[in-house]
Amino acid sequence: MKYIKYHKAFTFILVIIAMICLIVFMQTSLKASADGKRANGSTIGGVNVSGLKDDEIKEVLENAILEWKSEPIIIQGGGAELTINPQEIQFDIERSIKNYRNLTDKPFFLFWTSDRKVQVPIYISESDVVKNQISNISIWDTEETYNQVVMQASYLKSHEIEAIVTDTTQLKNERIALSIEEIPENAIGVQLLAEALDEYILKPNNPFSLLTDLENLTDSANIEGLNFFGSMIYNTVLQSKVEILERHPQKEIPDYLQPGMDVYIDAFTEKDLQFVNVSEHPYLLKTTVEDNRLKVELYSSVKEATVQVYVDQQPIAPRIINRYSKDLPMGATKLIQEEKQGLQVTVTRKISENGDEQIQEISRDYYAPINRIVLKSTSQPVSDAIEEQGNNTNSSLVENVDLDGDGLPDYDNSNEVSLDEDLPPGSYYDKGGNLVTP
């Protein structure tokens, strides 16, 4: 009986030892397998390290860092620029590998799960030298700009870094342009547009697009609001050294600004206002609303040139169009549309800088006139009819022209008849002066 008890105890101990050995073996095997395979597709600092051992990871990271440090780091923002020696950036490779292992290693009892894929940065030691260099640019936020450098470097990304500009007072040394206009009653969303672009920095050689910069706000403003805001921006920047890349005039002369200074903006048809600052210094654009008036200002740290804008207007006279109806009493007339003068507008600009003058033609715009339309009775005294026919022969102002598409009011063509007795029965002239024969 005692023998059986001892045998069972001995068997139990052997089972326990066997299980412990199995666990140790599995853990060792899984760790060796993980060392050889690791997380497929995982990276450190953007460098693929899948399937590599620690010493191999260290080697590939050192080579990648050495190549990245072969180019200088250039920080730009607010018209200022700073070049950083990449040797001042100290990478902590050992800490980066340890972090990578902590994220990718898994306990032996999870051997059945798939390997994790991670993308981790390379740790960078704090650099007081780089921070001090950044702090020398007073218009930059030191901490935020330094964080931008660390973020780019930790993933071995581009050497060109955008600084975080906080102080724009240095750009307000010279106000080089100003536009103030009352906001039209039908213009919606101007306040939101102004808040979005206020304190906007126009960097040298950096194209500006109104639709791109207001992409999330175009639905908050109507066509009239976008047109008014874009026209004010255009009128202001045209007084500086900017090159206009894209601009579309409105179809009719607006009640604000001079003709030729208006802009048509439409996100649906991609009608945009685009220009680029071609000076050597950044411009600060300020857009504010005060007492229902939009004020647009353009500032610079220095005034490089004097810019004068000229608008030449050539009037285009409207025509008088007579139409006839049998429904009017004898000798009666009715004004259907009042006339409005059209314009041919040419905008030029003179840039004076360092004793040199440059004349530029900016645009040529055509604003069609609105013709005067008069409806007359077909029943007239004989003397008046003869006199009118004589006037129609000798006067260039009385014409029948095609008015389709000009927004003219329609009326019943069946009421129109011709005074010409030689026309075929039932024939008449339509509203465009065309002969219609049934």
Give tens-digit pLDDT for 146-193.
999 999 999 998 889 988 887 677 677 789 999 999 999 999 999 999
Q: How far out from the chain centre does Cα 165 lie?
A: 20
Q: How far apart are CA 237 and CA 177, in angstroms?
A: 7
| Whether residue 44 sits in one domain with residue 70 | yes
Domain contains 414: no
| Of residues 49 and 256, more confidently modeled | 256
Are the CB atoms for 169 and 299 separated by under 8 Å? no
Q: How far apart are CA 49 and CA 26, in angstroms?
A: 25
Strand duo 372-377 + 274-277: pairing:
unpaired
Supply φ then ψ for residue 172, to 5 degrees. Answer: -95, 20
Neighbour order of strands in the sheet with 43-44: 47-48, 43-44, 119-120
CATH number at residue 356: 2.20.230.10
| Whether residue 86 sits in one domain with residue 20 | no
Domain contains 416: no
Are the CB atoms for 307 and 236 separated by under 8 Å? no
Range of the domain at 321: 310-399
Lowest mean pLDDT among 50-54, 67-71, 368-372, 424-428: 424-428
Degrees, nearest 5: CA angle 107-109-113: 80
Read off the amino acid at residue 372: R
Lowest mean pLDDT among 11-20, 56-65, 302-311, 379-388: 379-388
Domain C-terminal end among 162, 188, 212: 162
| Whether residue 299 sits in one domain with residue 175 | yes
Q: What is the pLDDT of residue 421?
A: 39
| Of residues 108 and 145, more confidently modeled | 145
SS3 of residue 13 by DSSP: helix
Residues contacting 421, CB < 8 A, separation 6+: none
Domain contains 426: no
**H/E element holding 117?**
none
Q: What percent of the chain has pLDDT over 70?
A: 74
The Cα diameter of the chain in Å comes to 151
Are the CB atoms for 181 and 232 separated by under 8 Å? yes
Q: What is the DSSP letter of 398?
A: B
| Whether residue 213 sits in one domain with residue 144 | no
| Whether residue 219 sits in one domain with residue 145 | no
| Whether residue 50 sits in one domain with residue 16 | no
